[in-house]
Amino acid sequence: MSVRALAEQFPAAALLQGERVRDMAKLVVEGLHKLNGEAVIHGAKNSALPILAATILSGDVSEISNCPRLSDVAATQAILRHLGCRVEEGDGRVLVDSSGMCRSDIPDSLMREMRSSIVFLGAIAARTGQAQLSFPGGCELGPRPINLHLAALRRLGLEIEEERGRLNCRARGRLRGTAITLEQPSVGATENILMASATAQGTTVIVNAAREPEIVDLCAYLNACGARITGAGEGTVVIEGVDRLTGCRHEVIPDRIETVTYMAATAVTGGRVRLLRTDPDNIASVIPAFEEAGCRVEGTGEGSGSGGSLILEAPARLNRVKSVLTMPYPGFPTDAQAPIMAMTCTASGTSLFVETIFDSRYRHVDELSRMGARIKVEGRVAVVEGVERLSGAPVECTDLRGGAALVIAALAAEGETEIGELRHLDRGYEGLEAGLSGLGAAICRIGG
């Protein structure tokens, strides 16, 4: 049975319908279909999650628009409801009323749903003066210690006891602003400091702060609520604590990694696609890799933000990408490494990847090799020798971005590919199969 026939047989296989997607669900992809047309980019997962956590700081009502429908967002909403907040969702908007927040704990079952659940720590502590939660879950990408988070919050006056995988935290009075120098520009630690210090007494200065667009978006939301934060997007951020925050309306920025994923999917099929509601400025470090591969990339629209668009036109066969070195923003994002690697699997020549952020970010390599990719890994270095064509095979998502890499590879593979373990993919992509189908891909979800 063809993929298109399967799609007709299973028409109701939506990404999220308010229930957890069962592990038996699979994506079936028939390769060698060129992508053409237009696709709309959703709101950024890595922006929506900390902003939703920050809504508890005001004890008021906030409306967050352009919020993607993802399993991680659903998990964040579950935490908010557990804390006593009223949460309503619909039409890409999430309304959070945190006036009824009555708890300061997060159970282990909810913490394990996603790594970014740790950003609730600073917000809960700032709102209630205490917090009880366990260590977070998420993709297994190697050691990602939260010691930077804890050290920073201790500097702000939060007393933290670690016992059997749980954190018991208490502040003696209001948190106090201070100078904090991060050993590395950790996104999560920067987010926790921003939330904890927004209503702290005095001024907090973060040195070596993360500069990602998602950090800038969180600061924009907090400032709209009445916070006084300057330097967002720079290495030094200054937060002047205020007595209280209020709710507001805020639109989440476009997802730059979803943008890169659609670009890689288009490139690997030799297609031409226009991506709407995206911000080309936020992927400036990635565009040269596509141009080196032989693609024409053109950003359009006035300025940046959600009103921008991007056109990518690919050659019949891609050239190799000489080298990719992942770095903190504004460098090449680690989340884009796997999609770009999949793109180079069928390129002409040899491509080199060096991963500097996570220790275990090449777990997708074995699955790509099942499809005929030629990739050698030595520590943090991966060498990709391009082949003329991949072959469809049964594979499984190893993590969120590794799952996207498998979808991209499947689009360039001869025959059909079955992709399992979609729970990873569903954490960060809203309706990926629907979006790709709209561009001409032969892809559908079955089961689950």
What amino acid positions are annotated as catalytic residues? 139
Q: How many whole angstroms from its chain centre is CA 439?
A: 23
Strands (E), 252-295: 272-278
Cα 38 from chain centroid (whole Å): 22
Are the CB atoms for 80 and 56 separated by under 8 Å? Answer: yes
CA atoms within 13 A on the CB side of 79: 36
Which burial class, exposed, middle or buried, applies to 175 when counting CB atoms under 10 A from its CB (0-12, 13-18, 19+)?
buried
- Bridge partners (DSSP) of residue 126 are none
**Which residues sit opposite 171 in a β-bridge?**
158
CB atoms within 10 A of CB 318: 26
d(CA 120, CA 79): 9
Q: In sequence order, which residues have a C-beta less than 8 Å from that of residue 11 and are 6 or more positions away?
A: none
Cα 101 from chain centre: 27
**How many alpha carbons fall within 13 Å on the CB side of residue 173?**
4
Distance, in Å, from the CA atom of 55 to the CA atom of 124, rounded to the nearest integer, reads 10
